[in-house]
Every structure is written in C-alpha cells, then in structure tokens.
Structure 1
Amino acid sequence: MTAAPPPIALDDLDREELLHLPSDRFIRFTATDLWSARWDVLGKRATLARAEASAARERYFDAAPKPAAGKPQTRRQLIKELQVEEDAKAAWLKAKAWAERAEAAEDRAWKALQTTYGRTAV
C-alpha cells in the first residue's frame, strides 16, 4: 500500500517542470504526474550539478602550484619564476573556490531532490 502524494498544484511547477508533463493529457494532470515531472527535473539538475562539481575539482587538482625546477641563473629569471608561481597559486585558489561553490550547488540540488517528495535520492 502506497501513500498518496502530498498536494501539489500546477502553479507550483516551474517552466522546465511544466515541459516535462505528458503532452497527451492537457489540463488533466494527476498529482503523480506533477510530482513525477518535478522529480525528473530535480534529478537532472542534481546530476548536472554533480558533473560540474566533479569538473571543478579536477581543475582544482590540476591547477595546484608546482615548485620551480632548479635554481634560476639571474635575478630576472628569479623574478619571472616567482611571478609564474604566484600566477599558478592564484589560479589554484580560484579553482578551489569554484570547486567549493560547485560542491555546495550539488549539495543543494540533491537536498532539494530528497525533500521534494520525502524520497531518498540514490
């Protein structure tokens, strides 16, 4: 025996969710149809957020600053190598911040998916 889905109205859905409704039953949607559309859209958003977070983590790990090889010969070379290291560190910190934002967005997307209908996302 399954419990009836919580009440939901057509006005509760956003544009993307409305586009996921079955087109053969215009205006005669059941609560199950509405929840199914919301579940599908939130699932896709969460999956996309997970992929973006994964890509951001990859960029973060790839951008880690690497120590300079060997000793520079001249003062100019030393300054140039220090500038390269500083640029790499700045890019690394930017990638880290992007990865953290993407992970937070992923968490929010999955939480929205889980709380929408009282289900647990896989």
Structure 2
Amino acid sequence: MSVRIRTITFDAGPDHYAVGRFWAELLGYGDVPGNPNHPDDPETVIIGPDGGPAILFLPVPEPKTVKNRVHLDLEPENETRDEAVQRALRLGATQVADHRNPDGSGFVQLADPAGNEFCIEGSAAERARFAQPAT
C-alpha cells in the first residue's frame, strides 16, 4: 500500500492570493483548469504543468512566528541556483541564510512573502559538476 501527496498546504497570512501568485511565478505553476484564482477567493490553489501535487494557500490571521517544521527544497531545471535565487528575490522573497560554498555547492535559504522558508539548491548539472574531482 502507498499514498501520494495530493496537495501541499501553506498558511499564507492575510494575503493568500499574493503568496499564491509568488509561488506560481517561482515554480511555473498555474491555476487549476476551470477554476481560476481571484483575490477575494477563500483560498488560492495552484498546480504544476505536469499535474503534480497542487499547492493550497490558506488565509490565516496570525503572522508566522517560528521556523517552519517542513519546507521545500527547490532544484532549478533551466537556470542556475544563483539565477533562481535572484529571480525569487525579484518576485518578493527575502534571503534568510546563505549556505553557498567556495566550490559552488550549497544552497540559499529564503522566505516567501508570508515568511515561509524554502531553499534553492544547485541544479542537477551544477551538482554533478561539484561531484567531479578537480583536475
């Protein structure tokens, strides 16, 4: 027996729509076909182009106060880690910590507009390069 992840749910503060739009832009996700999101909806839900797990953003009245117990680690598909970090910052993320290493490995910890932490790691090509012995 097994189960699969159907939806990942975020407490998104009072502006769940803006947080959902941030993640849609960052991940290349969109609205559920036939169910577009609107700012006055009671929730915002986005889904990946491959139909993977949906991400649901719920409004909550209280601000985030402690570190997430669970967070997403993102792997860029068609850009470098540093390009993805810069794009996330332009979209409204804030940098929490920088764990990049001199050899180019490592990750950057960021927070979305509601304060939910996430990390951006190197792409598969970048990670393969880190694993190669220096010549």
User: The TM-score by the shorter chain falls in which range?
Assistant: under 0.3
TM-score by length of 1: 0.26
TM-score by length of 2: 0.24
RCO greater where, 1 or 2, for CA within 8 Å and sep 6 or more? 1
Select the structure that is richer in helix: 1
Select the structure that is richer in strand: 2
